[in-house]
Structure 1
């Protein structure tokens, strides 16, 4: 594909995407008349009509629809080729290593990563999920540059951090359970009901301690290997599923479970989540990513 054809393809896709010659021309930095000339030249080059005009409006011909869809793929490949060639040529080795809690949904994290990638397209991203203690260790020993977690106060020595959000605790319980009629449930009301938690075998004792010590739940815990297994057990009315909401909640589908706030003395249980990094590892990218992430969480907390 010649450079001229690639350029004309870009103009054509912008016209279709914007549904306007004027807006497409402004976006591409050329005049409307120049844009029209480029589209006509493209059609002459291909010897086929791509756009048909009628009553000051236009629509794509079948050939135009084919050219548009496949053209977007080609433009994406060309942009990736350009970026990778530039990265190799300049020997850029910029990267950001992000560790995040397994309890975080990741929606805000994904948006923050997309925004940083848009600004620094050459930067590489590495991620690792873990529990708070694992993430702190990774940060301390250089395994990550920045982490999102809910640490203990003693974990914050030698770290810079920004508060992101408060995780709110819920239970998910079978719709067949009498407790499903409640607007909220207190910890004391769950004494005799097993708490179902999805966690790997090597993390179970730690999670047991968290449930007993931090949340005040009884040592009546039923472990599952996967979130799917945990929800099946809850739907089977074997106990309640302990969950935590930290941001924008992904769709859960039509699951026969009732989601109820978990409270102590009538107040919903919460814990703070932060983004933190080492004081001796504060480059521009790390703090900038932290501030972008904070803005994304603020949008959900408004």
Structure 2
């Protein structure tokens, strides 16, 4: 058999898959959705002409076939050889450039992360800045796996040499169509949605718990775009955090403050403290100032 065209991304993702307890965990490590990772695995098996992973729908556990175990050895060896060569031939100044990798919730990009990075790029013009957006689980996994330097999500990240602090708390907003009977209200509560289907973001854990307590029907979606589209088509209403509400600008939708005190979201800042990275601390300092300005405006209508 001829050597198939394999990418280093396919090899790395298979290595992460083999070292994970479940497909969900592997997808988070690879920064992919579970369906996308499953498709990539099937494509890899098709290229090789063998089955690499045993399917277990009941447990969703990762178990390699004999061929998969043998391929894993080769994949690890190939990736390590390439990494060693790249380390030897890379220009020395490439390693001297300061680097900052930020993982964050998508809703924080517009008003929290982007202004800070814009300011940082002016004071550190040669720095390599990158942003990886995903849900809280993905952000936490990226920081724990040393694939980013800073994470902003709805949970603190624990681990050796990782520090965390609560950056701020967010109030929540109800989002409804302009032709909804509740659209003209000054504020709403969850009790106002007794007969309404709630379109809920998967990472909205505080909202999910409240919906279950009240036995309110809801539909889970993974992205703000999907949520906005469904609401615009008349599928129920949504309860979202302040930073998420800021990103919703569809002309058919309005946002109204939610009065329920139980529904709040804390945003945690976590970072790798060792080895010390001056760029990380410069980012954190500016981020704290930026969020102080934002928090002062939390009571204003988005």
TM score, norm. by length of structure 2 = 0.58
Q: 1:231 to 1:95 in 2, by over 3 A?
A: same
**Alignment root-mean-square deviation, CA:** 3.1
Other-structure match for 1:270: 264
Cα displacement (A) at 1:258: 2.4
Q: Take 2:221 and 2:255, find their aligned partners in 1: how far apart are those partners? A: 19
Alignment pair present for 1:142 and 2:146: yes
Cα displacement (A) at 1:294: 0.8
* TM alignment of 1:215-254, pairs within 5 A: 216=213, 218=215, 220-224=217-221, 227-246=224-243, 249=246, 252=249
The answer as to whether partners of 2:245 and 2:255 remain within 8 angstroms in 1 is: no
Q: Take 2:126 and 2:225, find their aligned partners in 1: how far apart are those partners? A: 37
Q: Take 1:184 and 1:118, find their aligned partners in 2: how far apart are those partners? A: 41
The answer as to whether partners of 1:185 and 1:262 remain within 8 angstroms in 2 is: yes
Cα displacement (A) at 1:228: 4.3
Task: State which of 278, 281, 287 in structure 2 corresponds to 1:284.
Answer: 278
Deviations 1:125-161 (Å, cap 9, x if unpaired)?
1211111111111111111111111105xx4465323
Other-structure match for 2:207: 211
Give the secondary structure class of the aligned counterpart of 2:176.
strand
* TM alignment of 1:56-205, pairs within 5 A: 90-91=93-94, 92-151=96-155, 155-156=157-158, 158=160, 159-197=162-200, 204=202
Task: Specify every segment of 5 or more residues in structure 1 that has no aligned partner in the other structure, as ranges.
Answer: 1-87, 199-203
The answer as to whether partners of 1:166 and 1:246 remain within 8 angstroms in 2 is: no
The answer as to whether partners of 2:173 and 2:245 remain within 8 angstroms in 1 is: no
Deviant stretches of 4+, over 6 Å: none
Q: Take 2:143 and 2:125, find their aligned partners in 1: how far apart are those partners? A: 24
Deviations 1:262-301 (Å, cap 9, x if unpaired)?
232xx47321212211333432221221111111111223
Q: Which has the higher strand share?
A: 1
Other-structure match for 2:33: none
Q: Indicate the structure (1 or 2) with the bigger Cα radius of gyration.
A: 1
Deviations 1:5-29 (Å, cap 9, x if unpaired)?
xxxxxxxxxxxxxxxxxxxxxxxxx
Q: Take 1:287 and 1:280, find their aligned partners in 2: how far apart are those partners? A: 12
